[in-house]
Amino acid sequence: MIGTVDGGWAELLDILNCERIVTTAGLVGTGALALKLAVDYARERKVFNGRPIGSYQGLQFPLAQQWAELEAARLLNLKAASNFDRKLPFGSESNAAKLIASQAASAAAEQSMQVMGGMGYSKEFHAERLWRDARLFRFAPVSEEMILNYISTVNLGLPRSY
């Protein structure tokens, strides 16, 4: 027997919440790489008037927004990891960090591809791979809807909806 009799579900949840911390760390790194690739490209690429496309706010603002969201997810994830190390509850922090990180990493990969235009679709520039990889984590290992269900019941005290 692994674990304790009749305590398996709670013990499994501890493992799954821990997995979310690891997933979020990977997502923050994926998002940061997508941003770096976009920024590097936007500094170099000049269209029409000799100015790099990275000088336009239309390109800068979404990238800046995603940087801020990834940083928030990273910090919340560190809080989850710290709680885990200190044997404190960490389900809410790990779930919320994964929610924000998966959305921000997906948005960063999407924007990275957009910044690169047609080149973003080619394998050499990697944005297409990051775009597909980041998308997975909006529903795995737990979907954003189930995280919102968790927050609704555990953090907000609302009745369980399912």
Q: Does 140 bind ligand FAD (CB under 6 A)?
A: yes
Candidates 10, 88, 136, 158: give the one binding ligand FAD (CB under 6 A): 136
Q: Is the dihedral of CA 29, 35, 41, 44 positive or negative?
A: negative
Whose tokens are 């500094």? That residue is 43
Closer CB to ligand FAD, 40 or 144, in the complex: 144
Q: Does 141 bind ligand FAD (CB under 6 A)?
A: yes
Q: Does 149 bind ligand FAD (CB under 6 A)?
A: yes
Rounded alpha-carbon distances, angstroms, from residue 92 to 50, 81, 109:
49, 12, 26
Least spacing, CB of residue 50 vs ligand FAD, in Å: 44
Cα separation, 62 vs 45, whole angstroms: 18
| Chain residues that interact with ligand FAD, rule: CB under 6 A | 136, 139-143, 145-146, 149, 162
